[in-house]
Amino acid sequence: MTQESLIFYGGLNTIGGVHILYSNGNHSLIFDLGLQLRGLFDIKVQAHPSHGLQQYILTRMAPPVLPIYDKRELEGLEYQAVFDLWGKDKMPATDNINISVFISHIHQDHMALLPYVNEETTVYMHQDAHAVYRGVVVSGEYKDTSATIHSLQDLETVQFEDFTLQLVEVDHDTPGASGFLIKSKEHTIAFTGDWRTHGRNSERMERFITLCKEANVDILLTEGTSLRKESAFDDPVMVQEVEVADHYARIVKEATSLVYVNILARNVERVADFIMKTKELGRKLVMDGRTAALWHESITQGIKSLNGHPSLAEKDTIRVLESDINITKDLPYETICINEIVSNKSNYTIYLIQENTPLISQLERQGEQVGQSHYIHADGNPLTNRDPVLEAWLKEFCVKYHYYATGGHATPKEISRIISEIKPKVVIPLHSLHPSLVDSKGVPKYCPAYGEKVVVTELLSTLRNNVKDSMN
């Protein structure tokens, strides 16, 4: 009988960087391929452009599944060093094995390693996620991948030799976010991807629960980002996604000067709402070139969840900073210079990504002072409302700060609910600083170690015996 197994390479005691290898017969599937948000690398300490993959592998930031990577990126790497780092028993058996990749969504902690994947490897993702990925590439944030990307529709099933993979859309803060159901002859494994129930598509999670119950899921892998010591007894109250654009509108209506907004450009649905709300309020939305390129390429590729949205045809409301003309020369939006903005500040909202924070100095110190400016921080980097550098900039220029983040993740109470309703034989929490804090409502939970190989039948048998022993 074929031995099904899971090897856990990342995302177990940190947020992001989930790297799990599912193997069954002659085929394996790794999910996801991102870089964790915490650890050895940050905005200042980055991998070298020519040796990035090797530096990630040798710091355990990238999974040691070497056959999926471009050989040119591995040139010069001592494979023995990789074996010594992980231990040979933790390396996947790859002889005569086909390995595919599943990307749950286009946040960097789930897809940042895509540029290193070789052309022989097939990558599966939702069609909307693929559209956003094309936008990310065109914006210049990441290099393109050589891999063959196979776009899937919601609920579409891929047949492998010994198992099937069914993509299932979930509610998250970027289009195309998905989990899956893997079904073999013996078992069913469900993966939630990143999810929440306070977004614009909360009904997707109810459907996910139904599909899992119908499939009699054996193993449920769920993200647990919100699991923290302080939330173990006090469930956080989440801002509803539908409220964000309305909050922005309330601030703009009272503002007599500039308004800055900071949201992740990959949250294309929220960008669409902000474009239309800006138009309604009689302002222009000024984007940097990278953000404008990501937006335009994504909607050009086609975001199914935005079908019929008026923002798709809206060009007059968007302006692009003239300094980014090399990026945006082929975009259908008018450019604008700093002097035009400061000459009539109440006409503009500035889409200000973290890297462009210093623009505040030019925009605030020049032109007529017609009132206090406002900064709306709504899930853009930095992903905290206590960033000392941002605080210093806003204090220096007397800009009023508004933190209005919804978050893309479920509350601890919602995580417990989904576990109790699905009733898997075992739940594996991941994508969390404190995965063991999950209240699994009596469902056995298992927290694997880094590099641990779990044979599915053995895990289920052990847990079954443990339950029997506890009842005796």
pLDDT digits (tens, 9 = 90+) for 387-442: 999 999 999 999 999 999 998 999 999 999 999 999 999 999 999 999 999 999 99
- Domains with residue ranges and CATH for the chain: 5-231+409-471 (3.60.15.10), 241-403 (3.40.50.10710)
Least confident among 152-156, 325-329, 333-337, 350-354: 325-329
Supply φ then ψ for residue 130, to 5 degrees: -65, -40
The reported pLDDT for the residue numbered 17 is 95
Band of residue 471 on the pLDDT scale cut at 50, 70, 90: low
Percentage of the residues of the chain whose pLDDT score is greater than 70: 96
Strand partners, 5: 23, 455
Q: Does the pLDDT value for residue 113 go beyond 90?
A: yes
Other beta carbons within 10 angstroms of residue 378's beta carbon come to 21
**Contact status, residue 104 vs residue 194, Cβ threshold 8 Å:** yes
| DSSP 3-state of 23 | strand
**Contact status, residue 416 vs residue 438, Cβ threshold 8 Å:** yes
Q: Does the pLDDT value for residue 123 go beyond 60?
A: yes
DSSP character for 184? E
Q: Mean pLDDT, the chain, as a whole number?
A: 93
pLDDT, tens digit, 9 for 90 and up, residues 131-171:
999 999 999 999 999 999 999 999 999 999 999 999 999 99
d(C-alpha 443, C-alpha 419), whole Å: 7
* CA atoms lying within 13 Å on the CB side of residue 249: 15
Mean pLDDT of 348-353: 98
The reported pLDDT for the residue numbered 328 is 63
Other beta carbons within 10 angstroms of residue 185's beta carbon come to 10
Q: How far does CA 392 lie from the centroid of its chain?
A: 28
400 burial via Cβ count (<10 Å: 0-12, 13-18, 19+):
middle
Reported as type and span, the H/E element at residue 34 is none
* CA atoms lying within 13 Å on the CB side of residue 265: 29
Residue-by-residue DSSP string for 201-256: TTHHHHHHHHHHHHHT-SEEEEE-TT--GGGSSSPPPPPPHHHHHHHHHHHHHH-S
Prior bond to 32 cis, omega within 30?
yes
d(C-alpha 158, C-alpha 312), whole Å: 31
Band of residue 374 on the pLDDT scale cut at 50, 70, 90: very high
Q: Does the pLDDT value for residue 299 go beyond 90?
A: yes
- Residues contacting 87, CB < 8 A, separation 6+: 451
Mean pLDDT of 186-215: 97
Closest of 445, 409, 444 to residue 428, by C-alpha: 445
d(C-alpha 166, C-alpha 169), whole Å: 10
Closest of 237, 240, 248, 254 to residue 272, by C-alpha: 248
Q: Does the pLDDT value for residue 233 go beyond 80?
A: no
